Amino acid sequence: MNKLVVIFCIHIIFISPALADKYFNKLIKCDEIEKLISRLKHSDRFRKNCMVPASRVEKGLMERTKMADPMVCLVGVQSKGFLAGFNCVSQLREGKGELSCFRIIDNSFINEYKSDSTYYGDVAKSYLSMASTCDYGGHDSPDASWPQMPGLLGLVSKFEFGFITSIGKSEVFYNSYATHGFASVDPSIVNNERVVIEYFSILSGERNTTYDGTIIHESEKLVVVFNDARDYENEMNRMLVKSNQGLRVNISDYTLRCKLDIPYVDRKKRVRHLLRNVGRSIKRQGLSKEHGLKFRGASIHDVFVNTKRFVPYNYAEHSDLNTVIDKVVYVSNSNPSCTNYDKGSIVAMTFVTEPNEFVISDCGSISLAVAGEGVCSRFSALSTHKYITGLINATTEQITTDANWD
């Protein structure tokens, strides 16, 4: 065999020791992760002696988690093991929930990783191959995408890239998973400085869904995962009530997972094409496209962009609310009955999250936000509920019809 080929193969199979020791070594700590998983069954241990937040990241994290769950506990910095130097936070009840740990790292690493995709792609591939051999997992270690970032850390940071492996023997993520990745902290909590964290998280507990959602379509090339975005939706509606906007919102998110290696340009083009088809489907439900729509003097764009400070930073940043909402607003003033006598209206907004160029399995996502204004904000009314459900079903049917990508 040619010596260059041998050298290349060695480079693929083995991770540089220095690099492995520094970053690419969390998911392959098989025995230590198994012990940690076992400890999670006794979750009361992670709620004893909760620490007082000290750093800016800790303070920002705990301030935002209070809104989501007052039982969140700052466990503190670990002194030994594979998470030595990591600060951990827990959201555990009866062995189920989330344990997430993080540490601040050199902020140049993310740019370095993305600028040398060939080298780091090989490193990541070797890392995932090694992780898939651990007994704690289901032997299915792929790249992670932004919706799979730990929920707690997603409140204060934006996913950049990462890796994920299931815990258990199922072929998909039915029960629990461990994830390792890197994220940029919300500048507003660190004096507008650039701060990057490395994180490791375990989500433990019985789950009836996969990839934080439900698989609604699977073809040779693509998996479509539906998520009702309940956390984001609840936070947005709380904000709308506080600000007396007279609106209520329903959010549906469709994450596209590539099963084959599809070039980034094609992934980006196809999810944009899918967005256009979803728009046509919404028009067929009797809604019309409008521009410059205002509620109580505020544009739809302003209403929704202002919610960014009330929702998880990771979701708000990746959903790109700033640039796309005004372009894709559809309004119904004739259906359902709540729109009679101009007492209310239904507004549907679609927006796209483009694929991460450096995550091969990421094919992007489509989101549908349906807002009820005035009388139509009473989603419990039968005709309103039926109409909104019809919009969601039509969107789901359009996405699953187009999702074969043949």
pLDDT of residue 5: 37
Is the pLDDT reported for residue 167 higher than 70?
yes
Q: Which of 48-52, 142-146, 270-274, 373-377 has the lowest mean pLDDT?
A: 142-146
pLDDT of residue 331: 72
Q: Which residues of 134-167 are buried (b: 16+ CB within 10 A; e: fewer)?
A: bebbbebbbbbbbbbbbbbbbbbbbbbbbbbbbb
Is the pLDDT reported for residue 179 higher than 50?
yes
Q: How far apart are CA 84 and CA 303, in angstroms?
A: 43
- Higher pLDDT residue, 1 or 78? 78
pLDDT band at 223 (very low <50, low <70, confident <90, very high): confident
Task: Check the CA dihedral 156-159-162-165 and report its sign.
Answer: positive
Radius of gyration of the chain (CA): 22
Three-state secondary structure call for residue 182: strand
290: CB partners within 8 A, 6+ apart: 329, 330, 331
pLDDT of residue 171: 43
Mean predicted lDDT score pLDDT of the chain: 77
User: Environment class of residue 394 by beta-carbon count within 10 Å: exposed (0-12), middle (13-18) or buried (19+)?
Assistant: middle
pLDDT of residue 298: 56
pLDDT digits (tens, 9 = 90+) for 81-109: 899 999 999 887 665 678 899 999 998 88
Mean pLDDT of 134-152: 76
Six-digit token string for 287: 């809604």
| Model confidence pTM above 0.75 | no
